[in-house]
Copies of this chain bind each other. A is one copy, B any other.
Amino acid sequence: MSTFDAISEPLAQRLADGLSRLGAVARQIDWQAAEAEGLTPTQADILRFVASRPAGVRLAAAAGHAGVRSATASDAVTALQRKALVRKQSDASDGRAILLKATRDGQALAARWPASYAPVVAGLDADDQEAMLHLVMEMIRHLHRRNLIAPQRSCVTCKYFRENVAPGSGEPHRCAFVDAPMADRHLRVDCPEHVAAA
């Protein structure tokens, strides 16, 4: 037992603090980008979510993605609609629901909107980014199990993901959908072909 094991705050707490600091930076960058494009961070998050799903999404799904209540998401979508970036369609299969879809302008804006964590991620080289992606995916998987995060279309929760089927190789995982080997660096947070594991 070294000196520091005795005198330090718990590892988990220091890690949580560090992530909080990075989050503060990302939020600040988000607000600066907001000014340039006329969107707020929540609006931008929802716009990108909607733009990534051309088939349309429910309001509640957008709220879950952004981590806000339906009422807040409704406000944000109203603002996006006013700016002609998103449109609402009634859902034929459910008269209560609406389908949100990005307009052409919305697609364009979503595509050029910078990821708020980009300058944060830029601090790591490719190997470290790969290692971090692996750890982040592990966190997402855990949160998913605990129902603390909205369903993600991530590899680690996908029916087609085969984890570590070729241990020791450079690409130990496999995606059974495209039937190809994968490394940690290939893991996706949001894959269009995702099918939830049973």
Q: Are A12 and B129 in contact (CB under 8 A)?
A: yes
Q: In the assembly, how many copies of this chain are there?
A: 2
Which of B2, B28, B123, B142 contacts A142 (CB under 8 A)? B123
In the bound complex, residues from chain B placing their C-beta under 8 Å from that of A8 are 186, 188
Shortest Cβ distance from residue A184 to the other chain B in the assembled complex, whole angstroms: 9
| Secondary structure class of chain A's binding surface, majority of residues | helix
Judged by a CB distance under 8 angstroms, whether A128 is at the interface is yes
Q: Which residue of B lies closest to A180 (CB)?
A: B3
In the bound complex, residues from chain B placing their C-beta under 8 Å from that of A67 are 24-25, 27-28
The verdict on A133 contacting B2 (CB below 8 Å), with A20-B116, A138-B123 known, is: no
Q: Which residue of B lies closest to A178 (CB)?
A: B3
29 A-B pairs (CB sep. < 8 Å): A2-B180, A2-B183, A3-B180, A3-B181, A11-B126, A12-B118, A13-B115, A14-B187, A16-B117, A17-B117, A18-B137, A19-B26, A19-B120, A19-B136, A20-B117, A21-B189, A22-B136, A23-B23, A23-B27, A24-B67, A24-B149, A25-B143, A25-B149, A28-B67, A29-B148, A119-B146, A123-B138, A124-B142, A135-B135
Per the 8 Å Cβ criterion, residues 121-160 of A in contact with B are 121-124, 126, 128-133, 135-143, 146, 148-149, 152
A interface residues, how many (CB within 8 angstroms):
74
Judged by a CB distance under 8 angstroms, whether A37 is at the interface is no
